[in-house]
């Protein structure tokens, strides 16, 4: 607000602010710093809404988007290019996993688990021993650790079980975390997987991109329904009607798919 709104509005009374003044603030930066401009617009709208309720101004809010500024400014989706996380082609995934398997270290094991389970980086590096039931072959991530605050059950394929068992049964690891960071006493840092990619001379990749690798594999090479793959990725169903009927988590169907994924990754590509 100090950087963008104040130079235009100055000390003008809120009752004098109109669409022209709002556009003087927003328009110059809308196409070059779209997200910043969008946040500024939202803050101006909030301030003017408050001023209206308090009786300092009257009439429609000149900073409102719907039915007003959306007719004067291009939509963000038309300006911003969608930036996807760099993803490895699924045909190369098994070779990459074999490379990881040959490496020592906590980061390599965490990266393997991330790929085998199609989980997010934060979900993986923060994994606790208590979340894993080796007998039931289930990893249950509590709601507070999920991007969407909802418990997520992950069926563990045989390859994931083989990876996890020694980590859980390792008597030398007194930490509650599967992937502890010895220096800090907490879990592995967010930079650990990025540093591993740099050591492997793969700066073109990201850990998050392997979720896309999994999704591409499921879509291109299998007949598993879209909703099963999306449930594996813990995506939220956006359609409210569809979500109302989707009470289950398709766990057993996901188990079959994740075992297939594990076998695929265990067969080294040429």
Structure tokens at 25: 């603030």
- DSSP H/E element including 187: strand 186-187
Predicted pLDDT of residue 81: 54
CATH code, residues 90-266: 1.10.443.10
| Cα–Cα distance for residue pair 33/25, rounded to 1 Å | 12
pLDDT tops 80 at residue 36: yes
pLDDT tops 90 at residue 247: no
Q: What is the pTM of this model?
A: 0.67
Domain boundaries, the chain: 6-79, 90-266
Mean pLDDT computed over 23-51: 92
Fold for 6-79, please state it: DNA polymerase; domain 1 (1.10.150)
Structure tokens at 218: 């499921």
- SS3 of residue 110 by DSSP: helix
pLDDT tops 80 at residue 258: yes
Give residue-wise pLDDT tens across range 108-166. 999 999 999 999 999 999 999 999 999 999 999 999 999 888 999 999 999 999 999 99
Q: What is the mean pLDDT of the chain?
A: 90
Domains 6-79 and 90-266 share a fold: no
Dihedral (CA of 28, 34, 40, 45) sign: positive
């Amino acid at each position: 607000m100090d950087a963008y709104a104040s130079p235009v509005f100055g000390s003008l009374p809120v009752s004098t602010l109109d669409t022209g003044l709002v556009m003087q603030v927003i328009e110059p930066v809308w196409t070059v710093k779209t997200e910043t401009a969008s946040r500024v617009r939202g803050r101006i709208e909030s301030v003017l809404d408050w001023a209206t309720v308090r009786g300092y101004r009257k009439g429609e809010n000149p900073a409102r988007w719907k039915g007003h500024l959306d007719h004067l400014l291009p939509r963000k989706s038309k300006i911003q290019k969608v930036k996807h996380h760099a993803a490895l082609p699924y045909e190369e995934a098994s070779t990459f996993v074999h490379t990881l398997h040959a490496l020592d270290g906590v980061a390599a094991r965490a990266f393997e688990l991330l790929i085998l389970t199609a989980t997010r980086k934060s979900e993986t590096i923060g994994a606790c021993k208590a979340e894993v039931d080796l007998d039931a072959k289930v990893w249950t991530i509590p709601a507070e650790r999920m991007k969407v605050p909802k418990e997520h059950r992950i069926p563990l394929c045989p390859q994931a079980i083989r990876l996890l068992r020694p980590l859980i049964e390792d008597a030398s690891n007194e930490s509650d975390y599967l992937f502890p960071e010895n220096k800090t006493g907490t879990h592995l840092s967010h930079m650990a997987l990025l540093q591993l990619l740099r050591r492997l001379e793969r700066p073109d990749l990201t850990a998050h991109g392997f979720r896309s690798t999994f999704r591409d594999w499921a879509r291109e090479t299998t007949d598993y329904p879209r909703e099963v793959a999306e449930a594996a990725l813990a995506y939220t169903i956006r359609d409210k009607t569809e979500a109302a009927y989707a009470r289950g988590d398709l766990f057993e169907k996901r188990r079959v798919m994740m075992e297939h994924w594990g076998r695929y990754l265990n067969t080294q590509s040429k």
